[in-house]
Amino acid sequence: MALVVATALTASCSGGGAPAGPGGQPGKSGQAAATPQAPVIKITPEQGAAKVSPDKKVVVEVAGGVLDEVVVQAEGEQVEGKLSTDKTRWVSAVPLKPSTGYNVTAKSGGTQAVSAFTTNKPERQFKVTDVTPNAKGEKIGVGAPIMVRFDQPIKDKAAVEAALKVEAEKPVEGAWRWIDDTYVIYRTAKYWPAHQKIKFHADIEGVKGGKGLYGSKDYEATLQVGKKQMSKIDTRKKMMYVYVDGKRKLTMRISAGMATTREYTTTSGVHLTMERGNPVRMISPGRKKGDPGYYDVMINHAVRISNSGEYVHAKNNTWAQGVRNVSHGCINSRPDQAKWFHDNMQRGDVVDIVGTNRELEWNNGWGFWQMSFKQWKKGSALHGKA
């Protein structure tokens, strides 16, 4: 505790006369002038404290006055804080940095108090290792999630989630959902408005993620939402329509899964484009060379839309496109149109498929829009049951 009491100045008196009253008139005989007490300032952590836990708050309190100034600094940066309405209490608003020296100066009237303390070195630290989609110069689709991975398991998920901020130029409601102890995903309630910037902040430095575990470094990224590109596919009509910013850009005859087995049935639901390749090697799952149904082929201009092997891709079987569903589950189309789709895709574009009896699972690829937003929020540590 740093406790400083300023010395009060007292009026001198000559002889035995009473002090002057208001307006210079003599005061009442025998009554001395009251000496005001100096404010008393208390700072926590106290002067010289070492190994202070980073999740502690800096608290400055004053008795007998109000706080005129509170300055808390570390490594040349000022710590933000909140002053009470009566100006007698100040509390830091952000976590402290691990292994860092802090200096506190507080003033009230003519009184000043100081404290210098040091935070401890955590047993373990965690950091953000990946944010997807977030490639340099990338524009993302209106359905895009923000997927964040940490390098250590997070036990205190509420504290870490509270440090994750998403700020959009055109805001929409959204929520985080924890997939496991190292993986959390942000999804909006409605699609992002197109053509805007989104800033993601992980203000995790000093945030407690578990016993002896603290965030080591903040992370920041700026995401750019591009055009509103949405595709609608009807497997019964064997047609695909691509809309860009509300206008139909492409009408494509397609062939979907032949549906002779569940494996060969295209999944219905809201898919998101995940990645692209030209070419992509496609191998029949669970089969080896010589088995019935085995294939190992190179496919041009392929855009992945699930983890169960579904792509929108080029295939030169125009006799089937618009007529019959003959694929192993993918959506194939005329090579020139598939190339356009491949070249213009953004990760997070919406591909909405109807017409089959196999539903896309919410955790199959980026099938997050298959879950209602009400259900999605239940995976949040702040708004749900995570």
Same domain for 246 and 154: no
- The helices-and-strands tally (H runs, E runs) of the chain is 3, 30
Query: What does the pLDDT look like over 115-156, one tens digit per residue?
Result: 999 999 989 999 999 999 999 999 999 999 999 999 999 999
Query: What does the pLDDT look like over 46-58, one tens digit per residue?
Result: 999 999 988 899 9
CATH number at residue 210: 2.60.40.3710
Q: Give the residue from 135, 50, 140, 132 showing the smallest Cα distance to 98.
A: 50
CATH number at residue 347: 2.40.440.10
Look at residue 72 and tell me if it is in a domain: yes
Which pLDDT score, from 0 to 100, does residue 6 have?
36
Same domain for 167 and 294: no
Look at residue 343 and tell me if it is in a domain: yes
Choosing from 226, 257, 282, the residue where a domain stops is 226
Same domain for 315 and 304: yes
Q: Is 313 a catalytic residue?
A: yes
Same domain for 361 and 301: yes
Q: Quote the CA–CA distance of 129 and 116 in Å, as a whole number.
A: 33
Confidence of residue 350 (pLDDT cuts 50, 70, 90): very high
Query: Which DSSP helix (H) or strand (E) runs through 173?
Result: none
Same domain for 277 and 337: yes
Bigger pLDDT: 113 vs 31: 113
Choosing from 226, 249, 277, the residue where a domain stops is 226
Confidence of residue 298 (pLDDT cuts 50, 70, 90): very high
| Average confidence score pLDDT of the chain | 91
Same domain for 359 and 317: yes
CATH number at residue 72: 2.60.40.3780
Three-state SS string over 41-70 comes to EEEECCCCCCCECCCCCCEEEEECCCCCEE
Same domain for 74 and 142: no
Contacting residues for 262 by C-beta, under 8 A, at least 6 apart? 358
Same domain for 353 and 253: yes
User: Which range is least confidently modeled, 33-42, 292-301, 346-355?
Assistant: 33-42
Q: What is the pTM of this model?
A: 0.82
> Pick the catalytic residue: 271, 301, 328, 330?
330
Choosing from 89, 118, 147, the residue where a domain stops is 118
Which pLDDT score, from 0 to 100, does residue 32 have?
56
Contacting residues for 25 by C-beta, under 8 A, at least 6 apart? none
Q: Give the residue from 323, 324, 327 showing the smallest Cα distance to 313.
A: 327
User: Which structural domain, as residue segments, surrounds residue 265?
Assistant: 229-365
Same domain for 199 and 138: yes
Same domain for 205 and 139: yes
Look at residue 271 and tell me if it is in a domain: yes
Confidence of residue 192 (pLDDT cuts 50, 70, 90): very high
Number of domains observed in the structure of the chain: 3
Look at residue 381 and tell me if it is in a domain: no
Confidence of residue 34 (pLDDT cuts 50, 70, 90): low
Q: Is 301 a catalytic residue?
A: no
Look at residue 16 and tell me if it is in a domain: no
Look at residue 300 and tell me if it is in a domain: yes
Look at residue 28 and tell me if it is in a domain: no
> Pick the catalytic residue: 313, 328, 342, 383?
313
DSSP-based three-state secondary structure for 246:
coil
Look at residue 292 and tell me if it is in a domain: yes
Same domain for 344 and 233: yes
Query: What does the pLDDT look like over 266-283, one tens digit per residue?
Result: 999 999 999 999 999 998
Percent of residues in the chain assigned helix, strand, coil, to nearest 5:
5, 40, 55
